[in-house]
Structure 1
Amino acid sequence: MTLTIADRLLHWYDQHRRQLPWRGDPDPYAVWVSEIMLQQTRVDTVIPYYDRWLAQFPAIADLAAASLEDVLKLWEGLGYYSRARNLHQAAQQVVRDFGGQLPNNLQDLRTLSGVGRYTAGAIASICFDLDEPTLDGNIRRVLSRLFDVVEPLGSSQGDRILWELARTHLPSGRAGDYNQAWMDLGATICTPRNPQCELCPLRSDCQAYGLGIQSDRPVPKPRKQIPQRSAVAAIILSGSKVLLTKRQEKGLLGGLWEFPCCYVDENFTGDSLQDASRREGANLPKFLHQFLLTEFSTEFGSEFATAFAKEFPVETYVPNLFGTYKHAYTHFRVTLHAYLFPFKESSEKLGKHPCLDWVAIAELSNYPMGKLARQMAQKLAKA
């Protein structure tokens, strides 16, 4: 009897499957958390985060009841923070709409925040034994090589072909193992670089291997030039405290705390300020200074803006450079210059605001931050 691709894949998987914390007797909540964490993140990076997550939020109800700030703090360092916000929101949906139990069908799973076709298929097949395919980066790569898919990754035509291939070879009754077998094959043998084709159970079927073009598959999506941006941040000190602002919950780094910051090439405070900064040769400290005065006046009230303007006159005060930091986000790279503004007056006189907080330098580690803000906080704590 001729063995199918699925037969040989599953035979290999039964012998070589990876031992991962969320496998074994799969708990739907644990699998869901792992699948979200694994998006664009390596397994060895995810495991300690996964363990800490399940220790702090052992059930969906625990996650739903947590504050977003606690959720983001636990996620800190894993990146792509919208994943954490979506997990938190979806947990609240599950408690509200599904009695605290993750739904066991594809349609309802897809209604949850942050759960798309891939994640829904993984949960449905692994946890509920539904005959549903899924596609992650590993599976896309293996299928692209196995069937010599020439359409670029991420293209609508390429996605359509890969989903059809994943479903065509799916064996009834073992969809969960089948999906995880593709994942493991891609993670351990059919790797992005230097695939170990001699160890692959599907080598005889692999069209790319037969043509000697496995290194050319999958065909990458055409790369766009990644823009380089400039940003400025203010380290505003008052005794042993420093000023933090909280970002809006939606968008890049949503809900995280940071030092007051703005992008030089983005119109935060009006065309006149942006144009003036450019005319002055991008005088970053002055640009930051003017931004802060405008931002504090419009967002946090005149009391703070007045105190800031008195302490740091824009005409005469030249802030010292605290440090320069670089980071690459998904769609752009940024170089950030941070400057010092040490208040002489007590910060207690400056009022309070939900998105503004004077934080003891020794307590900065308690606040969820992005990578750049965390680097600045760590340097400040050591100073």
Structure 2
Amino acid sequence: MNESILSSALLGWFSAHGRDLPWRRTYDPYHVWISEIMAQQTQMSRAVSFFERWVERFPSICDVARADEDSVLKQWEGLGYYSRARNIRKAARLICEQHEGVFPRDFQDILSLPGVGEYTAGAIASIAFNLQYPCVDANVKRVFSRLFDLDFSFKSSALHKAVARLMREHMPEGRAREFNQAVMEFGQLVCSKRPDCSLCPICEHCRAFSRDTVLFRPVMEEAVKPMRIDMASGFLLHEGKVLIQKRRADDVWPGLWEFPGGVIEKRETPEQAVVREYREEVALAVRPVEKIGVVRFCYTRYRVTLHGFLCELANGDSWEPVFHEAQEGGFVAPVDLGEFAFPSGHRKLLETMRADVRYSSLFLK
């Protein structure tokens, strides 16, 4: 394939069809960095709304550096993978300490930031600073696997190296910013998992198209089957306040807040699980009053069904919790729960309650 044909076709397509994304209006390095972290494993439409909310709350890198962890996690709430938010805060503090609050331009300095790997460093270097570094994400691997009919496993280092080499060969000098974004966007909108080759402006140059192997490129491994688990959690009200606890730093969802609960054991009802978990986690005897509802959510390879219950203390004279499984906790007013960052399942449980006439008055000031 002729280099100029490929690059000019992709750049022409991007010029005509590239999306108007907020970080593309200025290419501010801070904005590019945040957008790249947010866009990982997140649909672009959702990433945009989270990005706009984030930069309104934290207009600069030093604003992030000065914020406490709870504030950063709350702003990240809903995106998942909360270690990314913690790394952003760590990186922001490092940038303010070592680079006077100015995002570094050198590739190795970018790569040394917490939470920044080779792909993200290349994306920031090329998109923010227009430096000649390739971005090799899933979309780029899919596009080049088809253009050159590469018979490598999607997750293999061989495919990554081959695509990175081809990206460098076809990247026009001085146009890394546009070229990288063009290929990534092309993989999202045109050369997708289920492509419509009739819309492709370069299908006549695509080897997989000519060989009828498009649907076999890239070579995908068999997906790992998800693990399904059932959990139960209790919304314990006492004197108008609800009990929440903060997960430990070495636990799942570290630093996030939750209502006590856990996995339902064999031959155990959801109600029995709530009673047991409260006794084990916070040394309180509770009684499920009524079922709030059932919510479903995913994290990593797990598919979780969470049963939520409104609870009360089983004996009125014992209400001081002892937190065996959390780093801290306490009773707070339901109207103040919006100030705390919750994992997906507990956040959905709260949304269910706010929408339910039985509980909506709890959240009114």
- 5 Å-filtered alignment, 1:310-325, equals 312=286, 320-325=290-295
**Amino acid of the structure 2 residue aligned with 1:282:** E
Contact 2:29–2:124 (CA<8 Å) still a contact in 1? yes
- 5 Å-filtered alignment, 1:60-99, equals 60-99=61-100
- The answer to whether structure 1 residue 327 and structure 2 residue 297 are counterparts is yes
- 5 Å-filtered alignment, 1:78-227, equals 78-195=79-196, 197-227=197-227
Shift of 1:362: 2.2
2:363 matched residue in structure 1: none
1:374 matched residue in structure 2: 347
**Amino acid of the structure 2 residue aligned with 1:36:** I
Relative to structure 1, the CA distance from residue 326 to residue 11 in structure 2 (aligned partners, 3 Å threshold; closer, same or farther) is closer
2:337 matched residue in structure 1: 364
Contact 2:288–2:309 (CA<8 Å) still a contact in 1? no
**Amino acid of the structure 2 residue aligned with 1:11:** G
Relative to structure 1, the CA distance from residue 66 to residue 214 in structure 2 (aligned partners, 3 Å threshold; closer, same or farther) is same
Q: 1:307-329, CA deviations, whole angstroms, 9 ceiling, x for partnerless residues?
A: x24xx4xxxx6664433222122
Q: 1:45-84, CA deviations, whole angstroms, 9 ceiling, x for partnerless residues?
A: 1111111111111110001111221122222222332222
Q: Secondary structure at the match of 2:186?
A: helix
Structure 2 residue ranges without an equivalent (≥5) = 360-365
CA distance in 2, matches of 1:230, 1:48: 31
The TM-score with structure 2 as length reference comes to 0.87
CA distance in 2, matches of 1:249, 1:318: 29
Q: 1:1-48, CA deviations, whole angstroms, 9 ceiling, x for partnerless residues?
A: 983422332233333332211113311000001111111112211111
Shift of 1:114: 1.3
Contact 1:155–1:221 (CA<8 Å) still a contact in 2? no
Q: Secondary structure at the match of 1:70?
A: helix
**Amino acid of the structure 1 residue aligned with 2:101:** G
Relative to structure 1, the CA distance from residue 2 to residue 95 in structure 2 (aligned partners, 3 Å threshold; closer, same or farther) is closer
Q: Secondary structure at the match of 1:22?
A: helix
- The answer to whether structure 1 residue 247 and structure 2 residue 247 are counterparts is yes
Relative to structure 1, the CA distance from residue 210 to residue 346 in structure 2 (aligned partners, 3 Å threshold; closer, same or farther) is farther
Q: 1:120-166, CA deviations, whole angstroms, 9 ceiling, x for partnerless residues?
A: 00111122222110112221221111111222222232222222222
2:262 matched residue in structure 1: 262
Q: Secondary structure at the match of 1:3?
A: helix
CA distance in 1, matches of 2:62, 2:191: 38
Shift of 1:282: 3.1
Shift of 1:215: 2.6
Q: Secondary structure at the match of 1:149?
A: coil
Relative to structure 1, the CA distance from residue 291 to residue 350 in structure 2 (aligned partners, 3 Å threshold; closer, same or farther) is closer
Contact 2:262–2:273 (CA<8 Å) still a contact in 1? no
CA distance in 2, matches of 1:346, 1:132: 65
CA distance in 2, matches of 1:358, 1:222: 46
Q: Secondary structure at the match of 1:223?
A: coil
Contact 2:260–2:277 (CA<8 Å) still a contact in 1? no
Relative to structure 1, the CA distance from residue 222 to residue 157 in structure 2 (aligned partners, 3 Å threshold; closer, same or farther) is farther
1:268 matched residue in structure 2: none
CA distance in 1, matches of 2:327, 2:301: 29
Q: 1:75-127, CA deviations, whole angstroms, 9 ceiling, x for partnerless residues?
A: 22223322222212211121122221221122111111111111100111122
CA distance in 2, matches of 1:250, 1:31: 30
Q: 1:234-266, CA deviations, whole angstroms, 9 ceiling, x for partnerless residues?
A: 2221032111111224554322211112224xx
Q: Secondary structure at the match of 2:312?
A: strand
Q: 1:149-189, CA deviations, whole angstroms, 9 ceiling, x for partnerless residues?
A: 22222223222222222223222221111101102212222
CA distance in 1, matches of 2:295, 2:3: 59
Contact 1:60–1:91 (CA<8 Å) still a contact in 2? yes
Matched residues, percent identical?
A: 37
Q: Secondary structure at the match of 1:79?
A: coil
Relative to structure 1, the CA distance from residue 107 to residue 262 in structure 2 (aligned partners, 3 Å threshold; closer, same or farther) is same
Contact 2:288–2:310 (CA<8 Å) still a contact in 1? no
Structure 1 residue ranges without an equivalent (≥5) = 265-276, 297-304
**Amino acid of the structure 1 residue aligned with 2:46:** T
